[in-house]
Structure 1
Amino acid sequence: MSDSDATTELVITRIFDAPRELVYRAFTDPDQISAWFGPVGWSVPRDSVEVEAKVGGHQRFTMVNDADPAQTSPVETTFVEVVENELLVGEEDVSALPDFAGDVMRMRLEFHDEPGGRTRLVLTQGPFSREVVEQARAGWGSSFTKLDKTLG
């Protein structure tokens, strides 16, 4: 296997200055998803968001490039594990998308209490090719900056 064929998981840990229930809700409430999701320069129209936060349920929405609304990125995840205010695990079929290292991308979001009413979020996502993982890290970092403002 060449180095460009290697795969990796993205792991990000971030502390949010908000209680765990509010951070969890930011990932499951359609109004909140449309308010923060997507890196800077992208938005999520509220009418594109559907969430059914239960095992077998889904999270669907479309990110739209602010500068070129013809450029879109649909997301359609099926939840395989859900523990309210603690855990969201979803899988997305990415077999038709270029630059992904597998047919299914898995995302795990763990929500942990931190002192002072804060929340530690641990995001694990992949598999990604090594070339794409850093783009994903930057995208999440930008999105989480928007989430900080939404929670604040």
Structure 2
Amino acid sequence: MAETSAANGTPIGGFTITRVFEAPRDLVFRAWTDPRQIAQWFGPVGVTTPLSTVSMDVRPGGVWQLRMIDDADGAQYPVTFTCREVVEPERLVLSARAPTGPGAVTGEALLTVTFAELGDRTEMTFHVSGLAVSKENAGLESGWSSSFERLAEHLTQVTITSSGAAR
């Protein structure tokens, strides 16, 4: 259900995605905060995030920047996050702003990611709020869900490698 922004009357909304990953909480948290790992999974299927485009300052006030590139047509989607809160390995709070323009995500959103330990597994809750309700933002939830499918695959590889099994 959309709410109305007091600032300009634009409808705002959000969504929550909860996933359980077959990996310890420390590994899942690192997958979010290590540039080499972000480059392996960030973005929906069909999009690549080259390591050369990833810059991360993981501390309150720090800025993360990256550029997703569509594998089919080469379209580029730069994204900037500002860290508001970092509680390792429990919680990340980021504000996200994407550039405006045709087909671009509009506005600024608050992303809260929590990591709950479930033995050798981790429950990640990803919540987005403050999102302008627009046709450009309509696919964000499915895009993030696709990205988290890639994260699950990445964590499987990281877990196999860190346990000393085949690489």
**1:2-151 alignment, distance < 5 Å:** 6-69=11-74, 71-94=75-98, 96=100, 100=106, 103-115=107-119, 117-128=120-131, 129=133, 131=135, 134-151=138-155
> Structure 1 residue 126: deviation in Å?
2.9
Q: Compute the RMSD of aligned alpha carbons.
A: 2.2
Runs of 4+ in 1 over 2 A off after TM superposition: 92-100, 130-134
Structure 2 distance, partners of 1:143, 1:99, is 16
Work out the number of aligned pairs and report it: 146
Name the residue aligned to 2:163.
Answer: none
With over 3 angstroms needed to count, the CA separation of the structure-2 counterparts of 1:11 and 1:132, relative to structure 1, is farther
For the 8 Å contact 2:44–2:144, the answer to whether it is kept is yes
Q: Deviations over 1:68-109 (max 9, x none)?
A: 11x111111110111111111111234735553xx4211111
Kindly provide the amino acid, as one letter, of the partner of residue 124 in structure 1: H
Structure 1 distance, partners of 2:79, 2:45, is 17
Q: Which has the larger Rg?
A: 2
TM-score (ref. length: structure 1): 0.86
For the 8 Å contact 1:49–1:61, the answer to whether it is kept is yes
- Structure 2 gaps of 5+ residues are 5-9, 157-167
Structure 2 distance, partners of 1:146, 1:76, is 20
Kindly provide the amino acid, as one letter, of the partner of residue 137 in structure 1: E
For the 8 Å contact 1:55–1:80, the answer to whether it is kept is yes
Structure 2 distance, partners of 1:67, 1:95, is 21
- Structure 1 gaps of 5+ residues are none
Higher helix share: 1
Farther-moved stretch of structure 1 (36-45 vs 5-14):
5-14
Structure 1 distance, partners of 2:84, 2:45, is 29
Structure number with the bigger relative contact order (C-alpha 8 A, sep ≥ 6) is 1
